Structure 1
Amino acid sequence: MKDRTGSLDQRIAHRVKALRTSLGLSLEALAARCDVSRSMISLIERGESSATAVVLERLATGLGVPLASLFDAPAPQPEPVARAAAQPWWRDPGSGYRRRNVSPAGLPSPIQIVEVQFPAGARVAYETGAREPRIHQQVWVLEGRIEVTVGDEVQLLDAGDCYAMTLDRPMAYRNPTRRPARYAVVIAAQAGARS
């Protein structure tokens, strides 16, 4: 599996800028919405910074979209099939976890699927808050074990377990073991969600 982080950073750069522009937000306005500095957003939009998953989640919240949508490739002609070779992996420079969007980009579907490879001992925390429209998420553990904290609730999930939640509170993922874990995240936005 080849990491194409450079091209994904450019994809994220274009996507963040396009979403911000479509909402009519200045860099300052987006910075105020998501608690990310104007200079960091500018670096991300120019593809000059490899942002962490935590920063990208803040941007997604400020833009009113699921995190997974920041990784979508421009799809002038949406295709119903996303071939594995066209699903690049992105590595979070903060936690080392790797993710890829599995769902076809550009389709008018409220559902997105993401695969995550989570290193042994890794942890990532998001300051997720309530969003409009509501975003629902399910985490299905394919291999290993992970701990998911949503608000004050902690769930220890083993292979085969699936946990459903709404993205409306701070959350964290942790791999408490010495082995990598792999899980799928299924995200669904209620009708009217921007993507």
Structure 2
Amino acid sequence: MDINDLIARRVRTLRDAQGFSLAALAERSGVSRSNISLIERGQSSATATVLDKLSAALGVTVASLFEDSTPQAEPSPMARAAEQPVWTDPASGYIRRNLSPAAPSPIQLVDVVFPAGKRVAYETAAREADIHQQVWMIDGVMEMTVGDQHWRLETGDCLSMRLDRPIVYKNPTRKPARYVVALATMPFTPTRRNA
């Protein structure tokens, strides 16, 4: 299945499951109704920033938008490399591969190749889901700003964070960086910050 068709089907399935109209999802996400409609019809390749806004409004991770929403009798616990969804951000050129199998799990793994000199900003802060993320550098250097904290990750480094504040990813070097993202969705527990 084409990656844009996969995203289209998943966004529509999640929106329908929550009973959101296009207008309601547009209001919650800050993404225009016409843009959401184009994405749901597979006629637009959304940027990473747009997918982040949609995922936050739908209460899921960005990685969840790449899952096949076709009903399966028993989802496989195996994700063969040839069948893992691969997507390229049209704005920055970063490439993400969803590594996780279709079988239900609170953990999702994503392999990312981030081009030299590029930057992606996820502005979404508040989420209805409690999502934790770890970024493990396989090769290269990435600079990450999480809220108002700045980190420089080099090969072998691992950074842990909650997805409850804006995050900026930047590759300040002249060569691509590669890292694995591990995401875990926990039962939501409001904190003083979210209350």
**What TM-score comes out, normalization by structure 1 length?**
0.93
Any runs of at least 4 consecutive aligned residues in structure 1 with deviations exceeding 3 A, and if so which? none
Query: Would you say the 8 A contact 1:101–1:113 is kept in 2?
Result: yes
- The more displaced of 126-135 and 59-68 is 126-135
Which of 71, 82, 86 in structure 1 is aligned with 2:83? 86
Q: What code does the residue aligned with 1:59 have?
A: L
RMSD between superposed Cα atoms in Å = 1.4
Question: Residue 3 of structure 1 corresponds to which residue in structure 2?
Answer: none
Q: Secondary structure at the match of 1:32?
A: helix
Describe how 1:90-169 pairs up with structure 2 within 5 A. 90-105=87-102, 107-169=103-165
Secondary structure of 2:34's partner? helix
- Residues in 2 aligned to 1:32 and 1:129: alpha-carbon distance in whole angstroms: 16
Query: Number of residue pairs matched?
Result: 187
Deviation at 1:27, TM superposition (A): 0.2
Structure 2: gaps of 5 or more residues: 189-195
Q: Does the 8 Å contact 1:110/1:191 carry over to 2?
A: no
Q: Where in structure 2 are the equivalents of 1:46-85 lying within 5 Å? A: 46-74=41-69, 76=72, 77-85=74-82
Report the AA paired with residue 16 of structure 1.
Answer: V
- Aligned counterpart, 1:40: 35
Quick one: distance in 1 between partners of 2:115 and 2:129? 32
Determine if contact 1:146/1:176 at 8 Å carries over to the other structure.
yes
Q: Give the whole-Å Cα distance in 2 for the aligned partners of 1:120 and 1:189.
A: 30
- Letter in structure 2 aligned against 1:97: Y
CA contact 2:117–2:172 (8 Å) conserved in 1:
yes
2:185 to 182, 186, 189: 189
Q: Does the 8 A contact of 1:134 with 1:189 survive in 2?
A: yes
Match of 2:18?
23
Equivalent residue, structure 2, for 1:176: 172
Identity, % of aligned positions: 60
Residues 49-104 of structure 1: CA deviation (Å, up to 9, x unaligned): 00100001000000000000000123513111100010132100010000010000
